[in-house]
A and B are shown apart, each in its own frame.
Chain A
């Protein structure tokens, strides 16, 4: 039973890393938001499983926050904002997608190397969860760094925060996880609102961005 428990936790944590890679792979904004919703769902499942095996009912609340707020509310809100403001539908990348994914692999290797080396004495489940969580964090940061579009940068930040939640829940007995999750979610909400207030102010005078697409042509 113990091995099975390990395996499901690993599977969910590894799944989170996989979904982070899927986010790096997307080249359309709406697909990106949907994949982020998936990311939040996997996080919710992972946290719920941790609540189950650690016998910590307060983590169910964190899972519920992740599910409701991050998997449903924010993606829906982002979809509507994109439509309303006519933001570019394509994810503009500063570096090619293939190269970004290669850098992502390097970051995963790095976080494995760091985490597994320096937590040599700890509980193996916690160690590997931390390694995965650091990977998700770094991948989120990579996404913020390699994308020009503000929405994709926000999503990168939110996936980064998902990684932090994973780390927090993985470490057994970390206090105030729920409170920290709520605080982070409020911060994110403010960031998202703030960015879009800026954008609305900027674009008030400009032409609808959709019209600019006609002159763009194929990039390569």
Chain B
């Protein structure tokens, strides 16, 4: 039996080779098919190898040390159950994106800017999950960031994309810097950078606290926690759609992996306030993310903000898990962690599906602006069905998978009253309320996204002349939709597969689900709570079947087509439909005045003046204004002041060197 670590590393090497191939062949016509095809195959292989590893949890987890990288550390790679799960997530997304790319890539105007970096990006993400020492982790992390940055700048002529790339680079650098400090603190004065060494060393509580905060800053900025999320809605939409799917659906999960690896595995016992902090940040992220998504009219930006919301949900569950772990409630911690990991898997699936759908719309119409779409359900039948499944899944509606993971999160909230600390007892119901609020707002957001883009009447000629996309794209979406349904119907299977992960991290796991009657999901006890996705699906199918049969047997079957009733309005132009902004106006009025300082201004012309009236809606991004604009301003100010250093004479430069040297000698002399 081949060592699974070695197998995964060979897959990574193959991906890197494909990247080189991409560079070499990028100008030729067959390159797209070749690169994406090979990437699909390699991703599927890596997926299978990781799945085999996860399903055999008791097999050996040896660390593979390769003589690469720094000579005194080497490069450690390890495939334990946590890595195996995240490898499944990464490679599932990678395989789907590559399959999608086979079709989508044909429309790419600059393939040489995407093809080499795509397999490299996949390789980087795989390496991050496989790394077992700080150096390889950071190197792979940076590699992942850089390759995705290159793809964000694929269409660099657009000023928006350039800005997106710039902000992304700054934030990624900041994140890596935070991670660097975190690993430095973890390694300690002895410099033991291998994860095994870190795991077995002890730390003072102060150092653990600092590491936690640095991990929140570093991994959190890559995952998209508020207020470090500002790059996400700029960068994710700028990249080509399958890359956006990878960045939103998979790269953010790699960041979550980094956080879990350090905080749950390497740090040892957490402090109770760690759970509180993560819970608070997660709740704020969830609500702010989805409110921002509701205000968007660009479909890809909406999806990017929705990613932020889902990451918030994951961190809420992680915060709960930390709080339980700190109080020694291992079973509850396992439940919360399973809820988080299940949501990680679910989100990667349905967010990729939604981004693929958005990419299909973009290919078919050339538009990302929802106010120019509409009526696509008639023009793009397959995409509209699959996008609908994605919307239903992300809105957490039974019997699909989004509901299963949110249900588990709610169950975790309901165990919480046994927590002893007061701050936690007050914070958890608030977090539960915010989780519920974000779920309801997500449904609203995706009614908007689907309703404005696909339903109604076409608002532009581009939407009128859209055609269905190629079969690779549809196949990729269909596979993900089927997986969403499967995960929703058989949540017990997923929970059982995750049991070894929680066992390794918490020392406890949820009860075995596959033995429950009718394959229900029973997190604690049957009398306490249970949910059966399969039965719910069967009931809904049976009820609708019964209704259809009954109606078609006894009711009239005639259908007549006529103009829309619309309360007898005579001329109904497509411009009279609701637009993205008008759909979210009630919610903007309720929440937006507080959260975004949303203001509406109506400029009415005087009677007799024939110019059109104007409605202006202004909203401000509070995190940008409160944090980034001042920092940017301060940096610019300092840079301006220091600019004079560029224009000194030679004598002045020499004096600077001289003064510094003398100061250094003085310091050394005094400090002896």
Residues of A within 8 A of B (CB): 96, 98-99, 109, 112-113, 117, 220
Closest CB-CB distance, B424 to chain A, in whole Å? 11
Q: Which residues of A contact B589 (CB under 8 A)?
A: 220
Residue from A99, A109, A113 in contact with B594 in the complex, judged by beta carbons closer than 8 Å: A99
CA distance A109 to B430 in the complex (A): 10
Residue from A96, A99, A113, A220 in contact with B426 in the complex, judged by beta carbons closer than 8 Å: A113
| Main SS at interface, chain B | helix
The reply to whether A113 and B422 form a contact with Cβ atoms under 8 Å apart is yes
The 8 lowest CB-CB distance pairs between A and B, nearest first, are A109-B426, A113-B422, A113-B426, A117-B422, A99-B594, A96-B594, A96-B593, A220-B589
The reply to whether A98 and B422 form a contact with Cβ atoms under 8 Å apart is no
- B590 at the A/B interface (Cβ < 8 Å)? yes
CA distance A96 to B590 in the complex (A): 10
CA distance A96 to B592 in the complex (A): 12
CA distance A99 to B594 in the complex (A): 9
Q: Which residues of B contact A117 (CB under 8 A)?
A: 422
CA distance A109 to B426 in the complex (A): 7
CB neighbors of A among B580-607 (8 A): 589-590, 593-594
Closest CB-CB distance, B285 to chain A, in whole Å? 19
Interface 0/1 of B424-435, CB less than 8 Å to A: 001000000000
CA distance A113 to B430 in the complex (A): 14
CA distance A98 to B593 in the complex (A): 12
Q: Which residues of A contact B590 (CB under 8 A)?
A: 98
Q: Which residues of A contact B426 (CB under 8 A)?
A: 109, 112-113
CB closest chain-A residue, reference B593 = A96
Closest CB-CB distance, B596 to chain A, in whole Å? 14
CB neighbors of A among B52-75 (8 A): none
CA distance A117 to B423 in the complex (A): 11
**10 examples of A-B residue contacts, CB within 8 angstroms:** A96-B593, A96-B594, A98-B590, A99-B594, A109-B426, A112-B426, A113-B422, A113-B426, A117-B422, A220-B589
Q: Which residues of B contact A113 (CB under 8 A)?
A: 422, 426
Interface 0/1 of B105-133, CB less than 8 Å to A: 00000000000000000000000000000
Q: Which residues of B contact A109 (CB under 8 A)?
A: 426
CA distance A105 to B589 in the complex (A): 22
Closest CB-CB distance, B107 to chain A, in whole Å? 45
CA distance A220 to B601 in the complex (A): 10
CB neighbors of A among B133-155 (8 A): none
CA distance A43 to B589 in the complex (A): 37
Q: Which residues of B contact A96 (CB under 8 A)?
A: 593-594
CA distance A99 to B590 in the complex (A): 10
Interface 0/1 of B556-593, CB less than 8 Å to A: 00000000000000000000000000000000011001
CB closest chain-B residue, reference A110 = B426
| Known A96-B593, A96-B594, A113-B422; further 7 A-B contacts with Cβ < 8 A | A98-B590, A99-B594, A109-B426, A112-B426, A113-B426, A117-B422, A220-B589
CB closest chain-B residue, reference A220 = B589
CB closest chain-A residue, reference B429 = A109
CA distance A117 to B425 in the complex (A): 12
CA distance A15 to B86 in the complex (A): 50
CA distance A96 to B594 in the complex (A): 9
Q: Which residues of B contact A99 (CB under 8 A)?
A: 594
Q: Which residues of A contact B594 (CB under 8 A)?
A: 96, 99
Interface 0/1 of B413-445, CB less than 8 Å to A: 000000000100010000000000000000000
CB closest chain-B residue, reference A105 = B430
CA distance A220 to B426 in the complex (A): 34
CB closest chain-A residue, reference B427 = A109
Closest CB-CB distance, B319 to chain A, in whole Å? 18
Closest CB-CB distance, B593 to chain A, in whole Å? 7
